[in-house]
Amino acid sequence: MLFPTVEYALFFLLSLLLAWGGLRWHAAHKFVLLALSYVFYGFWDWHFVPLLFAISLWGWVATRGIQHGARPRLWLGLGVSGCLGVLAYYKYSAFFLQGLVDLAALCGVSLNVGVESPFLPLGISFMTFHAISLMMDALRGKLDERVPLSDALLYVAFFPQLIAGPILRASSFLPQLQRAPDPARIDTSRALLLIVGGLFKKVVIANTLATLLVDDVFANPAAMSASQVLFGIYGYAVQIYCDFSGYTDIAIGCALLLGYRFPDNFSAPYTAASPQEFWRRWHISLSNWLRDYLYIPLGGSRGGSWRTRLNLLLTMLLGGLWHGAAWNFLVWGGWHGLMLVAHREWDKFWRVRETTWRNSSWWPWVARLLLFHAVCLGWVFFRCSDFSSGLAVLERLWGGAWQADLPPGILLCVFAGIGFQYVPARWLLRLQLVGIRMQPVLRGLTFAGLLLLLEVLGPSDPAPFIYFQF
């Protein structure tokens, strides 16, 4: 059930009616949201609803053991191992088995083993990360009270974030479930603005770029001119940002209308001037999760320069592998790890010298430009199914002819997707205030009119969200 569809609109309207209708009984309100979340997931494939329940239940059992057991770290090990074992089976078993077959072939041993990937459940990485967050926050004492089973199930399965995030911390979401949401405190204007903005990014910009340029460029780069390949790469950078940030904007807006607050997941990432800043702005919930639950437990920056470099590389390699069991994701993660390490060392080098040019007004723009192109280089291998396909795209970029063969609509989408990130935050706040001052009927009519306009501007067939595959 995709967000920009009539099916989801009807489902969400029904969710609002049922959830707020049962508000006077808080337990019934949460039960309704839980049931709706399982219906939402079952709309894709009912066969995997028991898996969602099992991961949630396993995380809750381990959490109860951590909170009240004599050996909390043993419970944590059992809980995390179970969740990661399920994730490894569905997402990585075929990848590692194929690697074993290839390694045996290099050694002259032929293994007649059929390698076939299990059918990947939608959103399994996100539900696994939520279950692990539940256990880790319990171990660190961030959960003040015992977690009821109903709250644990809803935390993992809450439908706005179930498929593609943002990744919620148990310590920030579970306290919201302890009290009934107050309809008088719902920021309707912000919620509707997030939903409209998210739909615009997804339906108009991301879908247009995907259908009119990006898919064709990466499917057959040899048939494209160098200018088409270049803007195909730029287009994918804009597409994946607008696709994913659009999804999370809609998710945050929908959750807000239901009375719950999600953390922001993007903060104008293409305005970053360093790799560290990029990861503080891109997929913020994943970046923080990797930092707190992987990088810091590995030792962080406490073990000296070489240990810090190794921890950064390992974290980003595993972050790349989290996106998918393929070498292209490892290449992408490794590339970002190398950028983080290189910038860290470069920054240390220049700190011991007087560098007036680094404090100039023009240097941040040069740094942004350099970083954007380095990030785009990584996106080439993220988008391609294998390393050789990525090299073919880059080869065509350097060896193809340069022609003025791009339609204005494509250029407008690329520049809009990047340019909107430089819009001052106060402009968006003013726009939100305009919505607050509107009468409810006028606000609803304006929202409906904008939805119709987006339907006209976007392509007829909505493309799946990119992060659904992760």
Q: Which residue has the tokens 């990744």?
A: 167
Token pair for 414: 């690329």
Token pair for 187: 């920021």
Token pair for 219: 């499917």
Helix spans in 107-162 (H) = 124-139, 149-157, 159-162
Given 29, 283, 323, 343, which residue is catalytic? 323
- Check: CB of residue 268 under 8 Å from CB of residue 168: no
- Nearest in space to 317 (alpha carbons), one of 302, 300, 335, 304: 335
323 is catalytic: yes
- Check: CB of residue 316 under 8 Å from CB of residue 292: no
d(CA 149, CA 147): 6
d(CA 142, CA 139): 8
- Nearest in space to 126 (alpha carbons), one of 103, 96, 89, 155: 155
d(CA 352, CA 363): 18
Helix spans in 71-148 (H) = 72-106, 124-139
d(CA 167, CA 127): 9
Token pair for 258: 């239901």
- Check: CB of residue 410 under 8 Å from CB of residue 235: yes
Supply the residues annotated as catalytic: 323
